[in-house]
Structure 1
Amino acid sequence: MHALRRLTPAAILLVAAGATDCSSSSSSSPDAGGLPGPFGLDARPSNTTCLAPDRPAGTIKLTRAFPDLDFELPLFMVQAPGDASKWYVVEQGLDGGPAASIQVFDNRQDVAAKKDFIRFEPNEVTSGLPSNEGGLLGFAFDPNYAINRTAYLSYTTHSASSPVDMKSVVRRIKRKENVNELDRTTERTLVSPEGKPLDFDAPAIEHKNSAMVFDKQGYLYIGFGDGGEESGEKGQDTKGFFSKILRIKPTDTEQYLIPDDNPWAHNTNGDLKEMWARGFRNPWRFSFDRETGVLWAGDVGDDTYEEIDKIEGGGNYGWRIKEGSHCTGRYPCPQPGLVDPYAEYKHGNGDRGIIGGYVYRGKNIPFLVGSYVFADLSSGRISRMNMETRAIEDLAMAGFNVSSLAEGADGELYVIDYLHGQLFRIDAAPGGSQPFPQTLSATGCVNASNPKEPAAGLVPFDVNAPLWSDGASKKRWLAIPDGSKITVQQDGDWDFPNGTVLMKQFALGDKLVETRLFVRHQDGDWAGYTYEWNDTQSDATLLPAIKTKTVGTQEWTIPGRTHCLQCHTAAAGRSLGLENAQLNGDMFYPSTQRTANQLATLEHIGMFAAPLGEMASLPRYPRPDGTENIELRARAYLHINCSHCHRPEGGGVGPMDFRFSQTAGAAGFCNAEPFSGDLDIRGAKLLIPGDPSKSIVSLRMHATDLGIRMPPLATQVVHTEGTKLIDGWITSMSTCP
């Protein structure tokens, strides 16, 4: 590690290199022959056609609600029946950390104070580390709360009879007489008509769920996951509480009743009479459509699929015989009587963990009315499902781990940021009246008669250190409005004017697969639009959401329009690869048949707002496949593949900062404890000098499981040369700096 400090002067360490979009790039060479010359282009081309328009109609944005309030691991928020004046936020609690609580505050944008509605003692509610799937998980007001002051809690606490010291409990509690605070002396565990308490031991620490919601008849629905048991037998068990959505009738005491029309209410063979539906893996959040009364749930998938379920009494939703609509291979399948999901989506581009939402019935976003709005925990993607077509469409990228959505009394929706403890409201984004062009040939960014070619106003560029993208080759162009300039910031990153379009073309072999436009709309915000090439290679069509397809023998994932912002983070400056150190190198310019330095060429044709200075004094990013010192190349590779998320405010989980501008000692990964588990490798750390086999940084790069693999987006093929580089660097290390 000492060699890194000797070989990285300040001019290099200030570099913030990266990718040109959220996917990985191939290792194309910037030195492609041609006649040498001082500049690759003689003049800046006029660009009158490839200009980012107003944001198209039918888009949303997330607005920070209650910006003066922050919370500790918030999982849920709700308003009391008939009272829109306040919000109640459930804080999960963490073993050895903040205690579980419910916070209450006034429903005002400028609210600055919150207070305890209830607070548990430290470690009284157990979260079940390291998975952290326990804690205070469910909360519901009785429909007659204004009169009877009754509410219901669901959480996990300690149990000596559980192999993991953990059990789920559901309890009834009342508010104090004249104080807006729950009275813990009134807390009682719910009890069945036969006197059996509604609590049960956990076999493992995962899949507790225990969301709760009332219907219009006053019945309480409570959901439980499969408890994390590896065998999966509980998914089809009809006797216990696991993998169920229960339906009970609360009374004015802790003893509940069984609704007479429950599907198993009159069974005498020991089946659970409370059972309303079964066969769930972990139904993380469910809700009633306030207009139709239909119950919708998001059930968290396992290896491949996440599902949206339309819940009906007596339904068996298939886990662990099926994951989504697909047989798992663990049991005979298909089997009669299993209910397929209403819709599903496949893991890819970071998606892994559906967060069930709500059917939008608000008034502020007309185009969303009647759509089921939901999120994904891992990617932070906000999506909607069309009720008629069941198609899933991307809406926005939250940029954080979403723990839940929430519905106000007015029908407007909110999104909860789990790790940062912030609350956001879903609003309609300002924009024009026109949709984005549906075909690539209609964008003005390509030759309309031959969309494989760029329009005349685009300028080609390449990068010194491209990312891996499952072997795809790429071509890149940029377009800015006539008369505008690019501003180079202090760290060498580029800031583009409104109206900018960055275009990238992907090909596998001789077949074009997709073209992406990353644009800065007139409101200053960035957005991505992906076009899929047709089989005849005559044009490409705009995709509304993520898509996986087979190209030759290779499975290829085309990201949805929101996925680009998952890598093009605000913390990384949105436009990732366009910066001095990435473009300080020679490139072949097809229009002039010259090879010249890109920075010199762009400065010569008037693209920059200020002179760059001497080219020789500007930093140049080392190529990962070059011959420079292995430590420099490895740090560059981590920067390119990881630093857009793994940096301050980048959204990545864990303490590491993979920016090349950081010294190795300040990067926070050497001998550091893994934040998201040790992958069942005893003694594993983020990076152990000399031992890639126990270094999470290496192990995640080698992984083919999309739930473990890093980077998680737009790549399914392990990059052999990249893993060799990182492993070689780790092996060469003898100590941390």
Structure 2
Amino acid sequence: MRRGPGKAQVGWRVGVVAVLPAAMLIGAGSLGACSSSSGSTPDGTDDGDGNAPDLGPRGGGDGSSSRDAEPDVSSDAFPVDSGSDAQQPSDAAPDVVTPIDTGPPLDCTAVGSAGEPKELGCTGLYASWPDRSIAPSARPFTPAFTSWSDGAYKSRWIYLPPGTKIDTSNMDEWRFPVGTKIWKEFRLGNLRVETRLLWKKTNSDWYRTAYVWSRDQSSATENTAGVVNIWGTGYDVVPQSDCSLCHNGHLDGVLGFEAIGLSAAGASGFTMSALVSEQRVTDAPASSYEVPGDATARAALGSLHANCGNACHSNSNYALAKDSGLFMRLRTDSLGSVAATDTYKTAVGVASKFQPPGQTGFLRIKENDVAHSTIPYRDGYRDTSGERIQMPPLGTHKVDTAAMNAVKAWINAM
């Protein structure tokens, strides 16, 4: 059944969207993505906001690497963003260096077990591999609220097969046509590090993988094992086996290309308005979906939506933390007010069985009391010896301070 629009929606915007207030330009990513409902709290009780799950050891490309210290990334070769890709949008990020060598010709006959090209240049993203020009059929987009990736800059593109539409009959659980491809490029300073690909092969089968760039930028080849601390930067390319932990949080496995992220102020490129005007959706909403509240509330709600809710913390049957009772995904039918959102209803003033070691009195979000609020505590923590406290529990070694400050400001404003 199609869900109706929320009360606080406004008419469709045409053309370039307005720039967000500084408080809203956050990476939104250290905040709780992929948490589990099955961990146990320090006192041994089980709870949806208990300890992060034990996801096992993380290996490098050769299965033997480990990461035990922050590397020095202060050199000019690897300037790392201190905020987020939303603070440094893809069209304003540092230019990628000219390749030292264009490398050998592409071998597009080399394919993997799923029929995927072994080289990024053969996936359809590029019109010309030697000059790295993007194919016109790969449409760039940036959602209003984006995920944190330890300071990496990101660019995103989507390919929809000609004549197809996204099934938006359920506006909160889109279904994409067979043949859809989505790419996300990650950059550290002026160097591409990895480009991820999501490829819908059949109605029920997505193939997800990563292509890791050589340091001289001449090649990008598939790597399913992951790479720990690539080039000594502290950045990890996650193994293919980790992808489903978050992507399975949506019915059709796509997290960032969704109604609210593409509708809210700050989205750019192939946004909801573009999808509607080009008739690429089956059910077009009558108006845009805007996150409720003032700038402070919108920043926090958008941050929690993009990182905690989209992947795991939602009442969707597909989400990893669906049994937690802590839901932070914004829904298109619950945007009438801040108090109407699942985030507010399941977090603000709600008891948390997780209590930091040696401390008591924590709620999930305690009004006007950041010091006794579980969500900012865990999102601002990074495990160093298996504590299983940090959120998200994988894929990050650094705290997104801009997003943290947005959530703290919202709590203090209550």
Whole-angstrom CA distance in 2 between matches of 1:438 and 1:577: 25
> Secondary structure at the residue paired with 1:532?
strand
Q: Does 1:656 align with 2:326?
A: yes
Whole-angstrom CA distance in 1 between matches of 2:392 and 2:42: 25
What displacement does 1:471 show? 2.0
What displacement does 1:687 show? 1.9
Normalised TM-score (structure 2)? 0.66
CA deviation profile, 1:216-272 (whole Å, cap 9, x unmatched): xxxxxxxxxxxxxxxxxxxxxxxxxxxxxxxxxxxxxxxxxxxxxxxxxxxxxxxxx
Q: Single out whichever of 463-472 and 694-703 deviates more from structure 2.
A: 463-472
Structure 1 residue identity aligned to 2:294: E
> Secondary structure at the residue paired with 1:487?
coil
Distance 1:524 1:453, change over 3 A: farther
Query: What is the match of residue 351 of structure 2?
Result: 673
What displacement does 1:433 show? 6.3
Say whether the 8 Å CA contact 1:501–1:517 is kept in structure 2: yes
Query: What is the match of residue 216 of structure 1?
Result: none
Whole-angstrom CA distance in 1 between matches of 2:377 and 2:114: 46
Query: What is the match of residue 277 of structure 1?
Result: none
Query: What is the match of residue 253 of structure 2?
Result: 574
Residue of structure 1 aligned with 2:220, choices 516, 540, 543? 540
Q: Does 1:637 align with 2:303?
A: yes
RMSD (Å), alpha carbons: 3.6
Q: Does 1:436 align with 2:116?
A: yes
Query: What is the match of residue 705 of structure 1?
Result: 383
Residue of structure 2 aligned with 1:628, choices 294, 300, 323? 294
What displacement does 1:519 show? 1.8
Structure 1 residue identity aligned to 2:161: P
Say whether the 8 Å CA contact 2:160–2:177 is kept in structure 1: yes
Distance 1:11 1:538, change over 3 A: farther
Structure 2 residue identity aligned to 1:557: D
Whole-angstrom CA distance in 1 between matches of 2:356 and 2:409: 21
Q: Does 1:724 align with 2:390?
A: no
What displacement does 1:504 show? 1.0
Say whether the 8 Å CA contact 2:186–2:195 is kept in structure 1: yes
Whole-angstrom CA distance in 1 between matches of 2:147 and 2:41: 37
Q: Does 1:560 align with 2:249?
A: no
Say whether the 8 Å CA contact 2:179–2:201 is kept in structure 1: yes
Residue of structure 1 aligned with 2:161, choices 478, 481, 486? 481
> Secondary structure at the residue paired with 1:518?
strand
> Secondary structure at the residue paired with 1:548?
coil
Counterparts of 1:545-624 in structure 2, within 5 Å, are 545-551=225-231, 554-571=233-250, 573-584=252-263, 598-610=271-283, 612=284, 614=286, 617-621=287-291
Residue of structure 1 aligned with 2:313, choices 646, 657, 660? 646
Say whether the 8 Å CA contact 2:365–2:373 is kept in structure 1: yes
Residue of structure 2 aligned with 1:131, choices 44, 47, 67? 44
Say whether the 8 Å CA contact 2:249–2:320 is kept in structure 1: no
Instruction: Compare CA radii of gyration and give the structure with the larger one.
Output: 1
What displacement does 1:478 show? 0.7
Q: Across the two proteins, how many residue pairs are aligned to each other? A: 317
Say whether the 8 Å CA contact 1:527–1:564 is kept in structure 2: no
Residue of structure 2 aligned with 1:684, choices 341, 351, 362? 362
Structure 1 residue identity aligned to 2:43: P
Structure 2 residue identity aligned to 1:693: A
Distance 1:645 1:675, change over 3 A: farther
Whole-angstrom CA distance in 2 between matches of 1:630 and 1:535: 40
**Unaligned stretches of 5+ residues in structure 2:** 10-15, 20-37, 47-53, 69-111, 335-339
Whole-angstrom CA distance in 2 between matches of 1:513 and 1:609: 36
Say whether the 8 Å CA contact 1:658–1:667 is kept in structure 2: no
Say whether the 8 Å CA contact 2:142–2:268 is kept in structure 1: no
Query: What is the match of residue 521 of structure 1?
Result: 201
CA deviation profile, 1:334-356 (whole Å, cap 9, x unmatched): xxxxxxxx9767589xxxxxxxx
Counterparts of 1:316-327 in structure 2, within 5 Å, are none
Considering fraction of residues, name the structure with more strand.
1
What displacement does 1:516 show? 0.6
> Secondary structure at the residue paired with 1:700?
helix
Say whether the 8 Å CA contact 1:445–1:454 is kept in structure 2: yes
> Secondary structure at the residue paired with 1:634?
helix
Structure 2 residue identity aligned to 1:524: S
Distance 1:718 1:619, change over 3 A: same
Query: What is the match of residue 10 of structure 1?
Result: 6
Query: What is the match of residue 152 of structure 1?
Result: none
Say whether the 8 Å CA contact 2:154–2:185 is kept in structure 1: yes
What displacement does 1:543 show? 1.0
Structure 2 residue identity aligned to 1:702: G
Say whether the 8 Å CA contact 2:6–2:289 is kept in structure 1: no
Distance 1:522 1:508, change over 3 A: same
Whole-angstrom CA distance in 2 between matches of 1:491 and 1:12: 16
Q: Single out whichever of 540-549 and 696-705 deviates more from structure 2.
A: 540-549
